[in-house]
């Protein structure tokens, strides 16, 4: 029976990578009916918004979406499409697997054992947008509040961002991380924060993760401070499995982890909530190479692997991942960013790399 999935090709290179995904999924024999929805800068002229309501309606109706990158217009007063999607659909968990594939150049000496999943809280923390500008008086009443209520006197040149972290939000993301670990045969969850310094926000996150860990005795649990974790991921990335973090550290550690497996071009992602899931590559719209058949489709294809797994199309997910891995390892039909210095062949175009993956799918 066919399943309908919302497909948002997005801006820049988005339509090129969306085409490759559609071709590969058709080759896998998974019957998906794509509900294609335009979003991004092209929609601003046509519909006066980069995220028309019909896109949200489509995701609410089909519950699953695959999304290409969308540009956030700078200084035009539009809210980020990605932030709005997360808020409107309560996509509280950002999942970023970081696994090394042979054939990709990594600066780590033994990258083969890297196979991490980063679970980032998506709604709270310093990203909640509660900010006060550097001014005194009505524009920054928080300075007055601090002076009157706490006796803390800060200068009028001080800007303030508030870091809200709740027990409910922290337990919700920790539960997601442990349940993800159980479902995917993972062994350990590491909670990461700076609880030694920020006791009421990060300390609360740490305690919430500990509480949740006690309900999941089959999964090992440990706690690490975020500064130490940055060093650990560069020196001993193979020691880690599932990482769970508040929003800001999650954002930073996700890119660090993508860096050790070869960059954002090969990193997939998913934003998930209790009702809806939106799968997307982690790179942007790459306007410098848009429309040139140069973009590496791996990030979007690996996001489709996550989507198929979520749809319980386990066999198709494994076959797609193995086909992508085989083409990357072979190294002859990969885009320029994946070419090693030793490779004698010219880089493949996006479509040619997609065709090589389809060939592997048909051979497996
Ligand atoms: P970018 O990721 O688009 O590009 C950075 C560099 O990496 C460019 O040189 C680009 O050519 C290259 N690159 C990126 N993905 C690649 C791929 N798959 N294959 C080969 N090369 C690749 O980052 P940026 O330039 O900072 O952002 C451009 C636009 O994308 C901005 O408007 C930004 O807001 C948006 N953006 C969207 C998302 C999203 O929708 N999830 C994420 C990040 C950035």
8-state DSSP, 132: E
Residue 138's pLDDT is 82
For ligand 1, say whether the CB of 40 is within 6 Å of any of its atoms: no
Task: Compute the distance between CA of residue 290 and CA of residue 70 in angstroms, rounded to an integer.
Answer: 12
Q: How far is the CA of 42 from the centre of ligand 1 (A)?
A: 17
Residue 15 has pLDDT above 80, yes or no: yes
For ligand 1, say whether the CB of 296 is within 6 Å of any of its atoms: yes
Residue 75's pLDDT is 61
More confident residue, 364 or 52: 52
Q: How far is the CA of 282 from the centre of ligand 1 (A)?
A: 8
- Protein residue with least CA distance to atom 5, ligand 1: 286
Residues ≥6 apart with Cβ < 8 Å to 309: 317
Residues ≥6 apart with Cβ < 8 Å to 322: 360, 364
Q: How far is the CA of 176 from the centre of ligand 1 (A)?
A: 28
Q: How far is the CA of 257 from the centre of ligand 1 (A)?
A: 17
300 pLDDT tier (thresholds 50, 70, 90): very high
The pLDDT tens digits of the residues spanning 184-243 come to: 999 999 999 999 999 999 999 999 999 999 999 999 999 999 999 999 999 999 999 999
- Protein residue with least CA distance to atom 30, ligand 1: 284
pTM for this prediction: 0.93
For ligand 1, say whether the CB of 337 is within 6 Å of any of its atoms: yes
Residue 126's pLDDT is 93
Task: Compute the distance between CA of residue 115 and CA of residue 98 in angstroms, rounded to an integer.
Answer: 6
Q: Which of 263, 286, 348 to mutate to test the pocket of ligand 1 (most atoms within 8 A of CB)?
A: 286
Residue 76's pLDDT is 63
Secondary structure class of 65 (helix, strand, coil): strand
- What mean pLDDT, rounded, does the chain reach? 94
């Amino acid at each position: 029976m066919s399943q309908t999935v919302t497909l948002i090709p997005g801006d820049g290179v988005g339509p090129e990578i969306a085409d490759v995904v559609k071709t590969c999924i058709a080759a896998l024999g998974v019957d998906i009916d794509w509900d294609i929805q335009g979003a991004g800068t092209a929609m601003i002229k046509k519909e006066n918004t980069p995220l028309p309501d019909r896109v949200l309606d489509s995701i609410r109706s089909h519950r699953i979406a695959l999304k290409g990158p969308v540009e956030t217009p700078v200084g035009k007063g539009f809210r980020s499409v990605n932030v709005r999607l997360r808020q409107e659909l309560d996509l509280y968990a950002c999942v970023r697997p970081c696994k090394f594939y042979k054939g990709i150049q990594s600066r780590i000496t033994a990258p083969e054992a890297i196979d991490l999943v980063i679970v980032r809280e998506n709604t709270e923390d310093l990203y909640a947008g509660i900010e006060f500008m550097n001014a005194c008086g009505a524009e920054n009443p928080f300075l007055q509040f601090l002076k009157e209520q706490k006796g803390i006197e800060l200068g009028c040149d001080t800007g303030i961002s508030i870091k809200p972290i709740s027990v409910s939000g922290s337990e919700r993301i920790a539960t997601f991380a442990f349940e993800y670990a159980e479902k995917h045969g993972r062994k350990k969850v590491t909670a990461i924060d700076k609880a030694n310094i920020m006791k009421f926000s990060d300390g609360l996150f740490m305690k919430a993760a500990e509480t949740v860990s006690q309900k999941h005795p089959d999964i090992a649990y440990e706690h690490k401070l975020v500064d130490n974790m940055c060093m650990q991921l560069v020196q001993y990335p193979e020691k880690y499995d599932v990482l769970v973090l508040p929003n800001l550290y999650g954002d930073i550690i996700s890119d660090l982890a993508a860096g050790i497996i070869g960059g954002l071009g090969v990193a997939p992602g998913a934003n998930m909530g209790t009702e809806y899931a939106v799968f997307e590559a982690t790179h942007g719209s790459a306007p410098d190479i848009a429309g040139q058949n140069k973009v590496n489709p791996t990030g979007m294809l690996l996001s489709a692997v996550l989507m198929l797994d979520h749809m319980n199309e386990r066999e198709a997910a494994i076959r797609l991942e193995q086909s992508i891995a085989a083409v990357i390892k072979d190294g002859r039909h990969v885009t320029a960013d994946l070419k090693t210095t030793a490779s004698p062949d010219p880089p493949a175009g996006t479509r040619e790399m997609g065709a090589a993956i389809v060939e592997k799918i048909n051979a497996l």
